[in-house]
């Protein structure tokens, strides 16, 4: 296309932008998107209330947001066109850590590098870790979007400073410095988002927009009511839990607070206390007199009868750490740090190391280990011990662990290997494999058998050993039977917990938990697992779960895949930590040291949209308290508005009016979002509605979409394959952007926004306008056979497009097919001219059918060319006679024949 290649002219795009500008003025003047509730409750199909999860306000909206949002916008516009009373409100989320974390980062940069900062050159800069593997974010997910922002790696390979990110937003140095105050973010980004969304043509009722957090006193009151409501129904409890935790932030580190390690959960081990038998070697003189243990992390406490030794990494770094006044554990620093957050450190949250040690220092230490049939076992070298897993100390059970078996075999068979690490013969040679578990397939020395079967020759054959381990671990657990110890005869499955319990009771073992993979917080520290006292929402609790299932069963989810996603989430979703001590938000009303976490203040706020324009009077920040004072919004006011509470006597607000509004708009007809919100936000939305509202107010539908790619490549800031919404509109116009979004794909799979499609749309829409102008000026002709065919095709287009206004299909039947039929008609008519009435009908219909997708263009044609009254966006769905399939078929045949001839 000539005018989009290099050296292209932007004339056509600019024509569209101009048109859009003019059209939006008309809409503004008439407030066409403001939605008013009626006095009476809405009848079936009378109203359409659709929402999009409020995006997080630490940057500009991008095409990912626009893609998910377009699904809501197109659906809303379709319903509006057909005559429904449509409410599409739009709020902005500011709750949580990322804004505060970025503001703090900016402050630290200024402290370190000055104001404006002078950053060190790349050479002197430590190169940061590569950006974590992360699923492509479609951005509609406010949570995911949050997680992606702070650690951008520049092309030079070093981390981009927050200051540079802000420069990328086009801010001056003087402006950037003001963003050290988190409140500045809330003042800055939401109004820009409104501007971009208006330019997009979003049919939103902007009087109902607001920001979250206690900066908005009205919303703050609403969230407090919500939390108290949950608590009064026992849906919020306090509990001690193992949680991924950032020591630097001093609080739990949820997925969206992480720079890497999304989805990582705590892994629990049993730490076996292998007591070091005195006298201690000289290096340990310092701790003589204390109870010193090698603390070995195991997943299989039931195998402890068969221990033959322990393993360490010879050049691994270890230390002797104080656990309490009398006990000392030998393990890695990393493990000590985790333990320190689990009440297993003399000084809470601070490991204290009495002696620094290497693995070599430990080799040869005699130990007495719980349950072991061998009275004394020795510490030996194993090369596959990892120092970033468990404690770096492993207890060896060669009967059931292929690793242990091969490492022991290596030491037994190879004298030079023993000599290399100073291992004495008597620490190794007398120790035989002890049968402890019998397995139907592998016998009673499973590890030995599988190593022989797989012809594993040494401890270095990693891949084979990993495969062997997997087979045995599963087999041993599900099919093994204990043949040694107190529980001989019992299935391993059953004995395991009993044995673990016993070890814990006798204080021969402790529970230890660590992140199953490395997790870095967005503040930059490595996370630990901490035992924390926290407020939890009791998702997963049986009766509540049943209600949630009941709600789901009656919802329209648009695809089976989405339904399965929800069913799966309900099957595992459990208690959710809903309090935080760092960030922005609403305080937990009964425990004000904590804030409500960001996925917990956003589950029922759709109800707030129904009334907030009268409370906040259209002020995003809730600053206008001229009519209603936030203090007036007591719990009984909310109870009255949203539930069946009786009308509070004390209130001097017109509550009856507000209540009617809520009752008119609720329930929510559809919520649209990226599919990644199924596993948290959307399921929370179901749970919370069932806990708080009566059944008639539970949500009716969720529509989930996949991620969006740009030109078949993942959207990514670092590669530049990225567009903010503002950029896309500037580059293609709003309607061509919308056109390409509609064409990108509708299912749960990844969709594709193609620039070429947007460019082609620019050309099509502008050419179509010119063509219409020409036709409208031309003479009329008589009705012919071609007229009948074309009129029939128009009827088809109306019926097919209405059937299901799913956007790619709608674009096909309502635009492409109809255009093709018109072109064919034009060709058939040739010089004899087209029928003017029919052309009028075509232009009317075409303009209406495409209006939900290209509303500016359609509105312009409607008013300026077709000279119609009112707005096309509310023009009503066109009437159609029943389409004649026979005529369509006959014509197809005729056309094919003509081509063949």
Query: Are 636 and 229 a contacting pair, CB within 8 Å?
Result: no
Find the shortest distance in angstroms from Cβ 300 to ligand A2H: 4
Find the shortest distance in angstroms from Cβ 702 to ligand A2H: 36
Q: How far apart are CA 110 and CA 113, in angstroms?
A: 5
Q: How far apart are CA 272 and CA 292, in angstroms?
A: 12
Find the shortest distance in angstroms from Cβ 592 to ligand A2H: 40
Q: Please report whether residue 715 would count as binding ligand A2H according to CB under 6 A.
A: no
Q: Please report whether residue 394 would count as binding ligand A2H according to CB under 6 A.
A: yes
- Among positions 386, 623, 657, 820, the unique one binding ligand A2H when judged by CB under 6 A: 386
Q: Please report whether residue 392 would count as binding ligand A2H according to CB under 6 A.
A: yes
| Cβ count within 10 A of residue 491 | 14
Query: Which runs of consecutive H residues, i.e. helices, occur in 233-318?
Result: none
Q: How far apart are CA 518 and CA 132, in angstroms?
A: 11
Q: Is 404 helix (H, G, I), strand (E, B) or coil?
A: helix
- Among positions 143, 205, 214, 404, the unique one binding ligand A2H when judged by CB under 6 A: 404
Find the shortest distance in angstroms from Cβ 409 to ligand A2H: 15
Q: Please report whether residue 484 would count as binding ligand A2H according to CB under 6 A.
A: no
Site string for ligand A2H, 265-304 (x = CB under 6 A): --------------------------------xxxx--x-
- Among positions 400, 448, 743, 802, the unique one binding ligand A2H when judged by CB under 6 A: 400
Q: Please report whether residue 401 would count as binding ligand A2H according to CB under 6 A.
A: yes
Q: Which residues pair with 673 in a beta bridge?
A: 704
Q: Please report whether residue 397 would count as binding ligand A2H according to CB under 6 A.
A: yes
Distances (CA, A) of 82 to 205, 304, 556: 18, 72, 20
Three-state SS for 202-236 is: CCCCHHHCCECCCCCHHHHHHHHHHHHHHHHCCCE
Q: Which stretch binds ligand A2H (CB under 6 A): 233-241, 357-365, 396-404, 572-580?
A: 396-404
Find the shortest distance in angstroms from Cβ 70 to ligand A2H: 44
Is the sign of the CA dihedral 266, 269, 273, 274 positive or negative? negative
Phi and psi, residue 40, nearest 5°: -95, 150
Find the shortest distance in angstroms from Cβ 357 to ligand A2H: 16
First to last CA, the chain: 32
Q: How far apart are CA 512 and CA 329, in angstroms?
A: 12
- Nearer Cβ to ligand A2H, position 299 or 778? 299
Q: How many CA atoms lie within 13 A of 43 on its CB side?
A: 1
Q: Please report whether residue 389 would count as binding ligand A2H according to CB under 6 A.
A: yes
Site string for ligand A2H, 840-879 (x = CB under 6 A): ----------------------------------------
Find the shortest distance in angstroms from Cβ 401 to ligand A2H: 4
Q: Which stretch binds ligand A2H (CB under 6 A): 206-214, 398-406, 615-623, 697-705?
A: 398-406
Q: Please report whether residue 395 would count as binding ligand A2H according to CB under 6 A.
A: yes
Torsion angle in degrees (nearest 10) through CA of 512, 518, 519, 522: 140
Q: Which stretch binds ligand A2H (CB under 6 A): 386-394, 571-579, 736-744, 760-768?
A: 386-394
Q: Which residues of 146-184 are buried (b: 16+ CB within 10 A; e: fewer)?
A: bbbbbbbbeeeebbbbbbebbbeeebeeeebbbbbebbb
- Nearer Cβ to ligand A2H, position 144 or 300? 300
- Nearer Cβ to ligand A2H, position 485 or 747? 485
Query: Are 465 and 456 a contacting pair, CB within 8 Å?
Result: yes
Find the shortest distance in angstroms from Cβ 333 to ligand A2H: 13
Residue at token pair 């056309």: 895
CA 413 to chain centre: 52
Q: Please report whether residue 801 would count as binding ligand A2H according to CB under 6 A.
A: no
- Nearer Cβ to ligand A2H, position 484 or 786? 484
- Nearer Cβ to ligand A2H, position 466 or 804? 466
Q: How many CA atoms lie within 13 A of 3 on its CB side?
A: 17
Q: Which stretch binds ligand A2H (CB under 6 A): 85-93, 399-407, 488-496, 551-559?
A: 399-407
Q: Please report whether residue 369 would count as binding ligand A2H according to CB under 6 A.
A: no
CA 420 to chain centre: 51
Residue at token pair 């998702």: 539
Q: Please report whether residue 317 would count as binding ligand A2H according to CB under 6 A.
A: no
Going across the sheet that includes 47-51, the strands are 85-87, 47-51, 670-674, 702-705
Six-digit token pair at 265?
């959960």
Compute and round to an integer the Cα radius of gyration of the chain: 34
Q: Please report whether residue 464 would count as binding ligand A2H according to CB under 6 A.
A: no
For ligand A2H, how many residues bind (rule: CB under 6 A)? 20
Q: How far apart are CA 164 and CA 183, in angstroms?
A: 20
Q: How far apart are CA 292 and CA 772, in angstroms?
A: 90
Six-digit token pair at 823?
């072109």
Find the shortest distance in angstroms from Cβ 469 to ligand A2H: 5
Query: Are 320 and 357 a contacting pair, CB within 8 Å?
Result: yes
Q: Please report whether residue 385 would count as binding ligand A2H according to CB under 6 A.
A: yes
Q: Which stretch binds ligand A2H (CB under 6 A): 102-110, 130-138, 141-149, 397-405?
A: 397-405
Six-digit token pair at 250?
């001093």
- Nearer Cβ to ligand A2H, position 318 or 684? 318
Q: Which of 475, 316, 462 is nearest to 403 (CA)?
A: 462
- Nearer Cβ to ligand A2H, position 299 or 429? 299
**Residue with CB nearest ligand A2H?**
390
Find the shortest distance in angstroms from Cβ 348 to ligand A2H: 25
Q: Please report whether residue 473 would count as binding ligand A2H according to CB under 6 A.
A: yes
Q: Which stretch binds ligand A2H (CB under 6 A): 189-197, 389-397, 691-699, 772-780?
A: 389-397
Q: Please report whether residue 370 would count as binding ligand A2H according to CB under 6 A.
A: no
Q: How far apart are CA 373 and CA 305, in angstroms?
A: 6
Site string for ligand A2H, 151-190 (x = CB under 6 A): ----------------------------------------
Q: By CB under 6 A, name the binding residues for ligand A2H.
A: 297-300, 303, 384-386, 389-390, 392, 394-397, 400-401, 404, 469, 473
């Amino acid at each position: 296309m000539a005018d989009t290649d290099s050296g292209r002219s932007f004339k056509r795009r600019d024509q569209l932008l101009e048109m859009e500008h003019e059209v939006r003025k008309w809409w503004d003047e008439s407030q066409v998107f403001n939605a008013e509730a009626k006095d009476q409750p809405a009848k079936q199909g009378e109203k359409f209330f659709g929402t999009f999860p409020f995006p997080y306000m630490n940057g500009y909206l991008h095409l990912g947001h626009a893609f998910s949002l377009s699904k809501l916008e197109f659906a809303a516009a379709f319903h509006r066109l057909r005559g429904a009373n449509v409410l599409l409100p739009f709020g902005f989320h500011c709750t949580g850590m990322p804004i505060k974390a970025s503001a703090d980062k900016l402050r630290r940069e200024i402290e370190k590098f000055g104001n404006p900062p002078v950053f060190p050159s790349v050479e002197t800069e430590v190169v940061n870790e590569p950006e974590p593997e992360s699923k492509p974010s479609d951005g509609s997910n406010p949570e995911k979007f949050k997680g992606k922002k702070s650690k951008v790696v520049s092309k030079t390979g070093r981390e981009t400073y927050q200051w540079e990110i802000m420069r990328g937003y086009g801010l001056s140095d003087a402006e950037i410095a003001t963003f050290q105050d988190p409140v500045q973010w809330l003042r800055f980004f939401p109004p820009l988002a409104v501007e971009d969304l208006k330019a997009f043509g979003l049919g939103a009722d902007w009087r109902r927009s607001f920001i979250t957090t206690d900066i908005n006193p009205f919303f703050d009151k609403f969230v407090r009511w919500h939390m108290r409501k949950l608590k009064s129904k026992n849906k919020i409890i306090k509990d001690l839990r193992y949680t991924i935790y950032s020591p630097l932030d001093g609080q739990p580190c949820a997925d969206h607070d992480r720079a890497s390690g999304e989805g990582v959960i705590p892994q629990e081990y049993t730490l076996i206390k292998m007591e070091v038998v005195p006298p201690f070697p000289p290096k340990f003189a310092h701790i003589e007199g204390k109870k010193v243990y090698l603390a070995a992390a195991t997943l299989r406490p039931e195998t402890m009868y068969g221990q033959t030794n322990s393993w360490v990494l010879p050049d691994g770094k270890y230390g002797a750490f104080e656990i309490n006044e009398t006990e000392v554990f030998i393990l890695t620093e990393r493990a000590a740090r985790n333990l320190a957050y689990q009440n297993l450190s003399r000084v809470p949250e601070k490991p204290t190391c009495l002696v620094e040690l290497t693995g070599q220092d430990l080799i040869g230490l005699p130990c007495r280990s719980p349950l072991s049939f061998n009275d004394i076992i020795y510490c030996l070298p194993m090369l596959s011990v990892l120092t970033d897993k468990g404690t770096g100390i492993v207890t060896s059970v060669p009967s059931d662990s292929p690793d242990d078996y091969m490492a022991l075999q290596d030491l037994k068979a190879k004298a030079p290997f023993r000599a290399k690490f100073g291992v004495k013969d008597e620490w190794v040679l007398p120790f035989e494999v002890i049968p402890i578990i019998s397995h139907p397939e592998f016998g009673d020395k499973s590890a030995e058998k599988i190593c022989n079967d797989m012809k594993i020759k040494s401890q270095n054959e990693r891949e084979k050993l990993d495969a062997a381990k997997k087979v045995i671990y599963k087999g041993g657990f599900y099919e093994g039977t204990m043949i040694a110890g107190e529980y001989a005869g019992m299935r391993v499955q059953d004995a395991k917990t009993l044995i673990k319990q016993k070890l814990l009771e006798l204080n021969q073992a402790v529970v230890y938990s660590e992140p199953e993979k490395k997790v870095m917080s967005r503040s930059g520290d490595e996370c630990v697992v901490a035992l924390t006292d926290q407020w939890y929402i009791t998702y997963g609790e049986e009766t509540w779960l049943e209600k949630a299932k009941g709600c789901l069963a009656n919802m329209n989810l648009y695809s089976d895949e989405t339904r399965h996603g929800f069913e799966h989430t309900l099957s595992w979703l459990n208690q959710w930590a809903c309090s935080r001590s760092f960030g922005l938000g609403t305080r937990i009303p009964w425990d004000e040291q904590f804030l409500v976490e960001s996925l917990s203040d956003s589950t029922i706020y759709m109800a707030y949209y129904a009334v907030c324009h009268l409370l906040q009077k259209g002020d995003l920040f809730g600053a206008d308290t001229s009519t209603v004072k936030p203090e007036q919004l007591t719990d009984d006011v909310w109870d009255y508005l949203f539930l069946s509470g009786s009308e509070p006597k004390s209130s001097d607000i017109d509550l009856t009016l507000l209540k009617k509004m809520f009752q008119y708009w609720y329930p929510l007809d559809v919520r649209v979002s990226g599919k990644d919100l199924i596993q948290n936000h959307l399921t929370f939305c179901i749970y919370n509605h069932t806990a708080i509202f009566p059944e008639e107010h539970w949500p009716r539908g969720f529509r989930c979409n996949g991620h969006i790619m740009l030109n078949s490549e993942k959207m990514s800031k670092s590669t530049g394959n990225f567009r903010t919404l503002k950029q896309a509109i500037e580059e293609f116009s709003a309607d061509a952007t919308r056109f390409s979004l509609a064409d990108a794909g509708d299912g749960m799979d990844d969709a594709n926004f193609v620039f070429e499609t947007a460019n082609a749309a620019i050309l099509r829409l502008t050419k179509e306008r010119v063509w219409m102008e020409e036709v409208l000026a031309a003479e009329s002709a008589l009705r012919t056979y071609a007229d009948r065919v074309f009129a029939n095709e128009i009827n088809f287009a109306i019926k097919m497009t209405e059937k299901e206004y799913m956007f790619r299909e709608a674009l096909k039947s309502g635009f492409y097919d109809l255009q093709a039929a018109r072109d064919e008609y034009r060709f058939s008519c040739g010089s004899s001219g087209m029928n003017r009435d029919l052309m009028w009908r075509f232009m009317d219909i075409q303009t209406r059918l495409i209006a939900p997708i290209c509303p500016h263009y359609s509105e312009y044609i409607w008013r300026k060319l077709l000279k119609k009254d009112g707005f096309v966006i509310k023009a009503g769905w066109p009437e159609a006679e029943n389409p004649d399939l026979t005529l369509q078929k006959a014509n197809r045949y005729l056309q094919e024949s003509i081509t063949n001839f």
